[in-house]
């Protein structure tokens, strides 16, 4: 994207009012930018990214597990095996995503989908009588629904060995276990997808400014937003004015919305989680594992810490990834600053954050245990999935940083959430996305909701992507 990183000067963006400013170079900003480029190619648009390239934080393929979240294997979306509502909702949103991405490819506006979406079966594997009974009931509930009708279930070790050879290699016989498998799952390179969407934006005239960190947002008396920031390469300041601002800055979104002064985020707070994965590119191991396999989370673990052994395809190269292992830092972005968390603290949200912590003492204990875990202990978690794993074949890598949202609640004071929340200003001239998973997989649905709230005149045209 280097050809879009020209310096902003007074003769460039500063002397005009830009129709749309996007803050953050990840999947969310790129999705909204691609939609607006298709619906209103005549409107001006600028994207500001603080790093030297786009898709370097949560959208980077090594900062996430690449799962096309579709409710197939994520057990945390269905804690009650008789209630499929959340799994169905996520599956429907992901189907919308697939249609939107395919439409861009067919229109010639995006990269070949083969570089982005790779067919990868989705599986669950569980151990012990209790979890076997849960998975059996979950399968009975889901297989009756059209979106999950092709899902298969087994408690036969020989069938599980056929579906996932590594899982059964070296496993002692006799342990109760069960598995589900859905052939139509996906592995997604969200970095490549973000770049493809950005290319759609730029083809319509949008500009991408790299190394530009937005530090201030102010709504002027004429209703136009003044966006200020600095060039991280030269430390020069810049100012632009915009009719609409989208804050898709990941962990930095809350502090920017706070600086914008919108009442919709009063009392909101964030709590950062990081993650590590074990990774191998050993060709023999990769050839024996063609699936994303999810299990049950440990007691007290946050939903995004559900263990999984994944096939990954990044840049055409295959590897395996296992994790995640939770980490903690006061940074809100992987390439952020240690003071990040403290810059979001306000008088209104301190009690909210503390209340959420008290209500999640099990989670606090889990995090402490994860931080104290040795490499040997971490590797033992992999061996639960793959008993024959050799430590020499695997390396520990640091993944992305997530800022989980904590919201005010009239009864509980503060509630820690594990999804995403779209926040829009009352007048529809500013919006931002807070929270984490399954955001990337459901970005088109989230951005269609944004268009409905902030660009109602475009809703009818945009609805075609929903059908």
Residues 20-72: tens digit of each pLDDT: 999 999 999 999 999 999 999 999 999 999 999 999 999 999 999 999 999 99
End-to-end CA distance of the chain: 32
Do 20 and 43 contact (CB within 8 A), yes or no?
yes
- Give the integer Cα–Cα distance in Å for 314 and 224: 41
Task: Determine the pLDDT at residue 304.
Answer: 62
Average pLDDT over residues 190-194: 94
Q: Tell me how far apart the alpha carbons of residues 241 and 166 are, in angstroms, rounded to a whole number.
A: 55
Residues 6+ apart with CB under 8 A from 366: 298, 299, 300, 301, 302, 305, 326
- Find where tokens 């649905």 sit: 445
Query: Nearest Cα to 48, choosing from 31, 29, 70, 24?
Result: 24
Distances 311 to 120, 138, 164, 451 between C-alpha atoms, Å: 8, 24, 11, 35
pLDDT digits (tens, 9 = 90+) for 245-254: 999 999 999 9
Spatial CB neighbours of 243, under 8 Å, sequence gap ≥ 6: 17, 18, 19, 20, 223, 224, 225, 429
What is the predicted pLDDT for the residue at 103?
Answer: 84
> Of 5, 40, 6, 49, nearest to 20 (Cα)?
40
The CA distance from 206 to 208, in Å, is: 7
pLDDT digits 0-9 by tens, 74-104: 999 999 999 999 999 999 999 999 999 888 8
**Cβ count near 282 (within 10 Å):** 14
43 burial via Cβ count (<10 Å: 0-12, 13-18, 19+): middle
Determine the pLDDT at residue 42.
Answer: 95
Report the distance separating Cα 441 and Cα 98, nearest Å.
9
**For residue 6, what pLDDT band results from cuts at 50, 70 and 90?**
very low
Quote the mean pLDDT of the chain: 92
pLDDT interval class at 362 (50, 70, 90): confident
Rounded Cα–Cα distance for residues 251 and 401 (Å)? 8
Most distant pair of Cα atoms in the chain: their distance: 73
Q: pLDDT tens digit string along 253-306?
A: 999 999 999 999 999 999 998 999 999 999 999 999 999 999 998 766 666 678
Residue 217 has which token pair?
A: 């947002």
Picking from 10-14, 65-69, 414-418, which range would have the lowest pLDDT averaged per residue? 10-14
Paired strand residues for 276? 325, 398
Both tokens of residue 182? 């859905």
Domains in the chain, CATH or no CATH each: 2-466 (3.50.50.60)
Q: Give which of 39, 37, 49 is closest to 8, Cα–Cα.
A: 49
Q: Are strands 292-294 and 122-127 parallel, antiparallel or unpaired?
A: parallel
C-alpha gyration radius of the chain: 22
């Amino acid at each position: 994207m280097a050809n879009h990183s020209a310096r902003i000067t007074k003769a460039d963006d500063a002397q005009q009012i830009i129709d749309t400013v996007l803050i953050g170079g990840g999947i969310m900003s790129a999705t909204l930018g691609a939609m607006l480029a298709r619906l209103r190619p005549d409107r001006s648009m600028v994207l500001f990214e603080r790093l030297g390239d786009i898709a370097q934080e949560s959208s980077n393929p090594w900062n996430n597990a690449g799962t096309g979240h579709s409710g197939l294997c994520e057990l945390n979306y269905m804690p009650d095996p008789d209630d499929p509502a959340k799994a169905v909702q996520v599956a429907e949103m992901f189907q919308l995503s697939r249609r939107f991405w395919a439409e861009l490819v067919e229109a010639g506006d995006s990269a070949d989908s083969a570089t982005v979406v790779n067919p990868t079966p989705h599986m669950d594997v569980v151990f012990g009588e209790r979890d076997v009974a849960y998975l059996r009931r979950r399968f009975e509930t889901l297989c009756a629904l059209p979106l999950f009708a092709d899902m298969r279930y087994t408690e036969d070790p020989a069938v599980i060995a056929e579906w996932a050879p590594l899982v059964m290699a070296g496993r002692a016989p006799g342990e109760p276990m069960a598995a589900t498998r859905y052939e139509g799952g996906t592995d997604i390179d969200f970095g490549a997808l973000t770049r493809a969407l950005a290319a759609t934006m730029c083809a319509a005239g949008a500009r991408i400014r790299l190394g530009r960190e937005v530090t201030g947002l102010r709504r002027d008396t004429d209703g136009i937003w003044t966006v200020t920031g600095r060039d991280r390469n030269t430390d020069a300041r810049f100012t632009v004015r915009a009719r609409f601002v989208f804050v898709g800055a990941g962990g930095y979104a809350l502090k920017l919305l706070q600086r914008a002064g919108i009442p919709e985020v009063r009392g909101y707070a964030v709590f950062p989680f990081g993650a590590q994965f074990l990774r191998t590119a050993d060709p023999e191991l990769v050839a024996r594992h063609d699936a994303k396999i999810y299990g049950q989370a440990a007691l007290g673990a946050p939903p995004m810490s559900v263990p999984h052994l994944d096939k990954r395809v990044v840049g055409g190269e295959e590897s395996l990834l296992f994790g995640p292992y939770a980490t903690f830092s006061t940074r809100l972005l992987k390439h952020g600053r240690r003071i990040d968390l403290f810059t979001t603290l306000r008088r209104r949200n301190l009690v909210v954050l503390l209340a959420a912590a008290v209500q999640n003492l099990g989670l606090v204990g889990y995090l402490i245990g994860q931080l104290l875990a040795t490499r040997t202990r971490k590797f033992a978690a992999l061996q639960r999935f793959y008993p024959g794993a050799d430590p020499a074949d695997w390396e520990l890598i640091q993944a992305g940083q997530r800022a989980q949202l904590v919201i005010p609640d009239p009864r509980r004071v503060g509630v820690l959430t594990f999804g995403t929340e779209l926040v829009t200003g009352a007048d529809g001239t500013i919006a931002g996305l807070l929270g984490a998973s399954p955001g990337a997989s459901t970005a088109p649905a989230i951005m269609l909701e944004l268009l409905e709230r902030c660009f109602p005149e475009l809703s009818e045209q945009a609805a075609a992507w929903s059908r």
